[in-house]
Structure 1
Amino acid sequence: MAVLGRFRRHGAASGAPSGAPSGAPSDAPPRASGLTWLSAFRHPWVALLAGAVHTGSFAPSPAWWLQPLALAWLCWAALGARPRRAALLGGLFGVGWLASGLWWLYISMHDFGHLPGVVSGLAVVLLAAFLSLYYALAVGLAARGSGPPWARALAFAALWLAAELARATLFTGFPWIASGYAHTQGPLATFAPWVGVYGITALSACAASALATRAWRLLGVMLLIVSLGQVLPSGFTQPAGELAVSLVQPNIPQDQKFDRDRFEDNLNQLSTLIESARGQLVITPESVLPLPLAWLDPVQTERLQRAAAQRPLLLGTFLGNEQAGYVNSLVALGTPAPYDYGKRHLLPFGEFIPPGFHWFVRAMRIPMDDQAHGTHQRALSFAGQRLRPLICYEDLFGEDVVASALDQGEASATVLVNASNLAWFGPRMVQDQHLQFSQMRALEFQRPLVRATNTGATALVDHEGRVVSRLPAEQAGVLEVRVQGRRGETPYARWLAAFGLWPLWALAVLGLVPVLIHRRRAR
C-alpha cells in the first residue's frame, strides 16, 4: 500500500491521470496549441500595429477610448513575456505610435528642407525610435516585477507615467501626443483642473493595466474614481469681462514666406487682413514678419503703425541683433505702453541646434535656425484683460505656463494667446493635434485660449476646453471672436506652481512599492 501510495503521488505530480501509468496518454488537449495561438497576439509586429491604434485616439479622431485599450494590449503582452521581449514590445509600440503620430515631420524635411525622401522618412523613424527608448525601458522593467495582479498593474502604470514624464522633461522635453492628451474629451477630461495631463495619463494607464492583468478589484476602484470625477467641483474660475479679438490667418505658403521676390505681396496681403479686422485687438501668427522688425522698410512700417492706431496689434516678428541673437517675438503696436514677448521654450532642430547636429540642420537650410531665448513671462494688460502669449509649441508645457494661471504677479493672465506657424508641416493631423494641446491647457487652468496661426488651426477655445470657433485650414481670413476672460486658480495650478512635476514623480515611485515589497519578501 505504501508503494502504491508513492506511485499515485508520482503520477499526480507528473500530470498523468490518477491510477494510470505516468507515460499513459492524457485525454486533455495539449496546451502548446493554445499558447501558440495566444503568442500570435504578442508578436512584435502586433506591437507596431497597437502603437498606430494608440495614435488613432488623438485628434482629429474622437476615439479617446482607443488609448486605454491599446495600452491594455501592451500591458497584457508585456507582462506575459520575458523582460527583454517586453522591452522590445514597448519600444515597437512607441515606434508605431510616434512614427504614425509625427509623420508630418517628413513634410518639413522633404518638401521644405529638400532632403531626399528616404533620408526624411528615416529621420522620422529614428526620432520615434529614440523617444521610444523611454517606453522600452519602462515596459521591460514592468515585466521584471512580481506579485499579485493588482501590484503588477500599479507598477506598469507607474513606470508608464515615469516614461511620459521623462519624455516631457529630458533634453528640453518633447511631449507631443503624450497619452493623456487623448482625453480632452471623455470621462477623464474632468480631472484636468485637478491633476493635469500627466495625472490623467496615470489614471488611464492604471485602468488599462488593471483590465489587462484582470485585477478586478483595482479596476473596480478605478471605475469608482472615474465615476466620482464626474461630480467633482469644477467651477474654479470666474468671468472677468470680455474682449473682442481679431485672429489673423494669412495662409502664406511656407515655401513663399522667405522668398524675397514674394515678400512685398505677402506683406500687402497681411496688411490688408489687419486693416479689415473689427476687434479691439488684432493678433497675428508667429513670425508673420519673417525678419527683424527693425529691418522693415519705413513705408511698410508706417502702414502697419497706421493700422495699429485704429486697432492695437500683437505682431509676430523677430527682435534682437546678430551679436545677442534673434528672438522669435510678439510685439505690441498701438497699445498705451510698449510690450514685447520673446519665445522662451525653443523647438529643437527648428529654433535651436542641439550639439552635434549642425550638419543636419544646415542641410535643410532652415532660416533663423539658431535663435536666442526670450527673457520674461509678463502678460499684456489691455482693455481690462491680461493676455499671456505663448509662441508655437510653448503651450505643450503646462509647468511653464502655470505662473500665468495664478492671480498674482506680472505673469497673471485672464486669457492665454497662442501664435503659431504650422505651415512647415502641412494641414493634416498636426493642426488638430496642436489644437488639442491648447484644449488641455484651457481645461487645466480654466482659462480661454485664442490661437492665431498662419495656415491653421486658428480658433477660440473656451475655459472648458471647447472649440467655440475655428477658421478652415489653408484659407486666408480673419476670425472675429469675443473671448471671456477668467480669474481664479484651479487645484492643479496651485500644486503645480508650488511643486512642479515632482508630485507626479513621487506618485510613480509610490506605484512601485507593492512589487518591491513582494520581491523582497520572496527573497
Structure 2
Amino acid sequence: MAGRAWPGPLEILAALLLGALQTLAYVHTGAWWLQLACVGLLAWRASRVRPGLAALMGAAYGTAWVAAGTWWLFISMHRYGGLPAWMAVAAVIALAAFLSLYLAAALAAFARWRSGRPLADAALFAAVWLLAELARGVLFTGFPWVAAGYAHVDGPLAAWAPWVGVYGIGAVAAFAAALAALQPDRSSASLLRGIALPVALLAVPALVGSPDFTRATGTLSVTLLQGNIPQDEKFEITHQAAALEWHVGALNEARGDLVVAPETAIPFLPQQMPEGLWEGLQQRFGQGDTAALVGVPLGDERSGYTNSAAGFAPGQPPYRYDKQHLVPFGEFIPAMFRWFTDLMHIPLGDFNRGPLVAPSFVVKGERIGPNICYEDLFGEELAARFAGTGEAPTIQANHSNNGWVGPTHAVDQPQPISRRRSRVQQRPMIRATNTGATVVIDHRGRVTHALPPHTRGVLEGRVQGREGSTPFARWAGPFGLWPPFLLALAVLGWAARRRAGP
C-alpha cells in the first residue's frame, strides 16, 4: 500500500482517533473487523515514519485505547470516591498514558527494525504487539483490560481461543491486519499475500470450528443472586440491614443444587454479623440438597483479611476461597501511593492474597472453581488450576460487584471477558454480580441465561460441567505466559539481527 509520512502532529492525531475508535469493537462484539482495520492502519502509518515519531503514535493510540475502555474509572473515583472531577479525569488519563508506554516502545522497535518485506514486517509487528500486551497484562500486577483478543469474542478469530488464548488471538489479529496493510503494490503476489493469508487466518478456523477438547460431566441447577445495591449504599450502615435481609432471604429460599451470591454480598466479617446469621447459613446449607457460595470478607486483625467466597454444602466442612489477584488501590495500596488513596472516601483495604492454585468446591460431583471480580481477566492464572489431574474445576464461578461503574453500560464490559475465558478453557462460567451482568455461560462462550442489569432479581438456570484440558490449558498451566513471550522475543531478535546485517 503506497503512502508517505504525514506531518508529525497529523500522524499522532490519526493514531489517537484510531485508538479510541477501535474500542467500539469491545462494546459491540459484532464489530470485530473494526479492531483489525484500526490496527492495520496503525501498522501502515508506523511503517512510514522514524522510530521517534512511531513511539509517539504508539503512545497516542494506546492512551486513547485504554482511556476509552476504562472511562468508568472516573465514576468510581469521582462519584463514589469523592475525588474532584478534574483529578479523576487526570487519573484516568495518567493511567492510560502510563500503560501506553509499552505500545510506544513496540512501535519504535517496529519502525527501527522493519525490513520492507511484507511477510517479515507483519511477523515483526505481531511480535512487538504481543510483547506490549504481555507487558501491560503482567507488569505491576497487570491490567489487560480491553486487550486486543477481547474484541474477537464473536468474530472468526474466536476459534483460536482454546489453542492460543486471548494474547495469542491479539497477535494473530495484529499479524493479519499488518500483512494486509503493508503490501507495497497491487501486484498479484501482493494481493495473494495481503488478502489470501489474512482471510485464511480468519476464515479457516471459523469454518473448521474448534473441536471439543473437554467432555461433559454432570449438570447442576443453579440460582444466581443480583441484589442491585447502589455502591454508595453498600457500606452505609443505614442501608445495610435491608440489603442483608434480601440476600439472606434469597439464599434461604433457593432450592436448586447451588446458589451463588455476589462479591461481598454480605459486607460483614462473620464476627460482625447479626447474632446467629453465620451459624444459621451453615446450618441451612449443611443439610438438605442445596449448596451455597457466598461472597464475604474473612479474617481478623491478627492474621489479616481476605476478599473471599465461603461455601457450604451438605455433609461437607465449610469451604473457603480467598481472592489471589488483588486490585491495586482497591484491595491493596501500592508503595508510595498512600497519599492518593487517602484522597478518596472509599472503604479500601490491604487484603491478604490467597493461593494461586486453590481447591475446588465440590457440589454433587461437580468441582466449582471460584474467582472474584476481575480475576477471570488473567487466563494464565486460572489455567494453573488445570495443570494437575483430577482436581481441576468442571465449572467456573465468578463473584463480582460492578456497582463501582454506576448505572451505566460499562457494567456489561466484564461479560465478554468471562465468555472468552469459557471458550479458552472450554468450561462453563456462572456469574453472580451485584448489578450485572449476572449470566450463565456455556463451555462455548454462549450466554444461555441472563438477568437484565441494574435490576434486583434471581436467575435460575442449568449448567453442564466439563472435564479435560484445552491446548491452552496444557501449556499455560505449567508454563504461564513464557511460551508466547519467548516466541515474540525470538522474532524480535531475528528481525533486529537481520536488519543489522552481517
Q: Is the TM-score greater than 0.5? A: yes
**Structure-2 separation of matches of 1:272 and 1:281:** 15
Partner of 1:223: 199
Partner of 1:176: 145
Q: For residue 70 of structure 1, what is the aligned residue in structure 2?
A: 38
Q: Deviations over 1:161-218 (max 9, x none)?
A: 0000011111111111111111111110001011111110110000111122117454
Decide which of 311, 329, 345 is 1:332's aligned counterpart. 311
Residue 472, structure 1, aligned to residue 452, structure 2:
yes
| Aligned counterpart in structure 2 of residue 116 of structure 1, from 84, 92, 100 | 84
* Aligned residue-pair number: 487
* Bigger Rg, which one: 1
How far 1:305 sits from its partner (Å)?
4.3
Match of 1:312 in 2: 291
Q: Which residue of 2 is the match for residue 393 of structure 1?
A: 374
Post-superposition offset of 1:52: 0.8
1:431 is matched with 411
Displacement after TM superposition at 1:300 (Å):
3.2
Aligned to 1:458: 438
Whole-Å Cα distance in 1 between the matches of residues 397 and 413 of structure 2? 17
Contact 1:50/1:70, CA 8 A, preserved across alignment: yes
The question of 1:486 aligning with 2:488 is answered no
Larger mean CA deviation between 140-149 and 62-71 belongs to 140-149
- In the TM superposition, residue 154 of structure 1 has moved relative to its aligned partner by 1.6
Q: Relative to 1, partners in 2 of residues 1:460 and 1:511: Cα closer, same or farther, differing over 3 Å?
A: same
Q: Pick one of 179, 182, 186 that aligns with 2:155.
A: 186
TM-score (norm: length of structure 2)? 0.93
Matched-pair contact (CA < 8 Å) for 1:239–1:484: yes
In structure 1, C-alpha distance between the alignment counterparts of 2:374 and 2:394, rounded to whole Å: 20
SS in structure 2 at match of 1:63: helix
Question: How many Å separate the matches in 1 of 2:158 and 2:309?
Answer: 31
CA RMSD of aligned residues (A): 2.0
Residue 425 (structure 2) pairs with residue 445 (structure 1): yes
**Is 1:151–1:514's contact at 8 Å kept on the other side of the alignment?**
no
Q: Output the CA distance in 2 between the equivalents of 1:386 and 1:351.
A: 27
CA contact (8 A) 1:290 1:318 kept: yes
Distance 2:326 2:89 in 1: 23
Q: 1:60: how far off?
A: 4.2
Q: Contact 1:271–1:303 (CA<8 Å) still a contact in 2?
A: no
The answer as to whether partners of 2:223 and 2:259 remain within 8 angstroms in 1 is yes
Q: TM-score, normalised by structure 1?
A: 0.89
Q: Which moved more, 1:359-368 or 1:341-350?
A: 359-368
Of residues 255, 278, 281, the one that matches 2:232 is: 255
Q: Give, in whole Å, the separation in 1 of the partners of 2:494 and 2:209.
A: 29
1:263-315 Cα distance to aligned partner (Å, 9 max, x none): 21111111222233231111000111112122111143355346435532211
Q: Note if contact 1:159-1:508 (Cα within 8 Å) is conserved in structure 2.
A: yes
Partner of 2:143, secondary structure, is: coil
User: What secondary structure sits across from 2:328 in the alignment?
Assistant: coil
Offset, 1:107: 0.6
CA 1:196 to 1:102, structure 2 compared with 1: closer, same or farther past 3 Å? same
Contact between 2:308 and 2:322, CA under 8 Å: does it hold in 1? yes
**Corresponding residue for 2:187?**
none
Deviations 1:123-177 (A, max 9, x none): 0000000000101111111111231232222211110100000111111111111
Once residues 393 and 152 of structure 1 are traced to their aligned partners in structure 2, the CA distance between those partners, rounded to angstroms, is 35
Deviation of the 1:387 alpha carbon? 0.2
Shift of 1:444: 0.5
Distance 2:394 2:4 in 1: 58
Residue 430 (structure 1) shift: 3.0
Shift of 1:488: 1.1
Look up the equivalent residue of 1:317 and give its one-letter code: V
Pick closer, same or farther for the CA change 1:42–1:212 going to 2, 3 Å.
Answer: farther
Unaligned runs of 5+ in 2: 185-189
For residue 39 of structure 1, report the CA deviation from its aligned partner: 5.0
- CA distance 1:146–1:177, shift in 2 (3 Å): closer
Q: How does 1:386-425 map to 2 (within 5 A)?
A: 386-405=367-386, 408-410=389-391, 412-425=392-405
Q: Which shifted more, 440-449 or 328-337?
A: 328-337
Q: How does 1:186-335 map to 2 (within 5 A)?
A: 186-214=155-183, 216=190, 217-219=192-194, 220-230=196-206, 231=208, 233-305=210-282, 307-308=284-285, 309=287, 311-335=290-314
Partner of 1:25: none
* 1:58 match: secondary structure: helix
2:135 is equivalent to residue 156 of structure 1? no
SS in structure 2 of the partner of residue 43 of structure 1: helix
The one-letter amino acid paired with 2:43 is: C
Residue 343 of structure 2 aligns to a residue in which SS? Answer: helix
Q: 2:334 aligned with 1:354, yes or no? A: yes
SS in 2 for 1:65: helix
Q: Which moved more, 1:102-111 or 1:47-56?
A: 47-56
**Alpha-carbon distance in 1 for matches of 2:88, 2:30:** 29
Query: 1: distance between equivalents of 2:14 and 2:25?
Result: 17
C-alpha spacing 1:47/1:429, structure 2 compared with 1 (3 Å): farther
Label 1:334 to 1:387 Cα distance change in 2 as closer, same or farther (>3 A).
closer
Residue 372 (structure 1) aligned with residue 340 (structure 2): no
1:233-292 per-residue CA deviation (whole Å, 9 max, x = no partner) reads 511111101000100001111111111112211111112222332311110001111121
2:482 corresponding residue in structure 1: 502
Paired residue secondary structure (2:31): coil
Contact 1:407/1:489, CA 8 A, preserved across alignment: no
Question: Partners of 1:40 and 1:144 in 2: how far apart?
Answer: 17
